[in-house]
A and B are shown apart, each in its own frame.
Chain A
Amino acid sequence: MAGKKQAIISLKNVSKVFQNRKVINDVSLDIYKGETFVIMGCSGSGKSTLLRLMTGAIKPDKGEVLVNGEDIAKISNRKLDEARKTFGMLFQYSALLDSLTVEENVSLPLKEHSRLADHIIKIIVRMKLSLVGLKGYESYYPSQISGGMKKRVGLARAIALDPVIVFYDEPTSGLDPVVGGVTDKLIKDLSEKLLITSVVVTHDMQSVFKISDRIAMIHEGALIETGTLSEIKKSKNPYLKQFISGNHEGPIDFFKEEIDIKEILNI
């Protein structure tokens, strides 16, 4: 069944090294059109790097990253820009431009890449802001609104150009559970209503269960398992089981060795 689906993003044996440390180790995966694909893993496992490889922000040392059939690391800057016009990205800390108001932030991609008249852009911006429940906040600056609101403005900006793919970097981190839930619902709604392919990087399990169609688990730069939500839930993989349960004991060991508090304190 998977073979019939069309892969919109496809990673083939991708590796990335930062300062002699292999951050991504031989990862291959396919993301299909219209699905919500979640990449999960511990902090520092390389999942954000994987996302940046897909957006072309960094280039792989080995392997290829195909987006819409084109190797994003090898195409010209002009073509990369063309490809990026079909992307939207929600950053972990929103990354709104401080010097612009909410309205100017959301309208920026429209003003840059479309020839629409100003009053039409205004209407689109208001529409996108009402999609994320922020109508009436147009004239505020990012410093005047809360973190959750900033994330939603970031989301409105990400979908301003009606993208084909939206990347989410930790969409719910730093948000209270309710706002986190609202964000999850927004992601789900957007991908269903606007037929967007969503790639979500997160370690928030609640969010994973709510939004994902398929899941990939990354640990220390390597792909541990890929599958649908039910497959992942049933998986016997000890890494996955530990990650889902949040147990501090298991194969994912941050300390690498036994810690003896008594020995450290000399008692």
Chain B
Amino acid sequence: MPDWKKLVRERLSVLNLPPSAKNEVIAELAAHLEEIHEKVRQTCVTDAGAVELTLQEIDNWRVLARNIGRAKSEGDSMNHRTKSLLWLLVAVTWLGASLSVMLLQRTDRLYPDLILFYLPWLATLPLVCAGAAYLAQGADPINDRIKGLWLSVTVTWLGAILSLMVLDRADHPSLVLRRPIPVVFHLPWLATLILVGAAGAYLAQRADAPRKTRLVVATSPALLLGIVMLLLLPWRFAGGYRWALTFFAIDAENLAVVPSLALLFGALPFLRQRSANSFLLPKDDANASMGPTVLRE
């Protein structure tokens, strides 16, 4: 007969609980497995077979550790809603602070280059969100949400923004549409965005994110830039700029709409496949195993 406590301790090594609580869980689960093993042993010829049958009680130790961690820890710290509000508050504060600095320092100019000038700072936004989410998650920090969404968003965002900053400072081929106001599309950046979109969708796919999430991750740089521009819009009007809406439309086209199409194009190969798990349908679906497992006819 195996040492069940040792076995459970090894397999639940990722369980993030205070030592006393973890030891208690390990002792309880080990006792449960021991009883099942004894019961199975009465009908099973070999001990190895009995152990194998006993271990069928747990499909995925990592999921079990996550479910136990969640069940044990949430009551000790904050509830889900509080956590969500916390990271949202941090994200909004950071974005607000970034925009405030932009507005205070560059009140004489308000054009896409203003946005670009402060993009490195804004680029830290997803990192800050990831950090806040990490802290808010408490006992289960390295979870699918962080790995699948925040990490992917961060990589995608940084890839899009850094490539824009680098390419914006070099001579490169561009497409100019001669309309009442000429619109310039930076072709190398758009080409880079195809790769960035593909990378974002791929990372999200690796974390079993569903199709919608992969789509959001891949196009997140364009979405975030669009949000930034929307936030800047009232100030454009307040600044007395003529043609505010026209310039907004041009910026949106340049930095949000067309880039989102490039990102989407890159992401397409990774949007076809269905995800295996229920990522981002967190509580109910991830905890589906908490119900009785068999309903026999």
Task: Report if A and B associate in a common complex.
Answer: no
Q: Which residues of A contact B (CB under 8 A)?
A: none
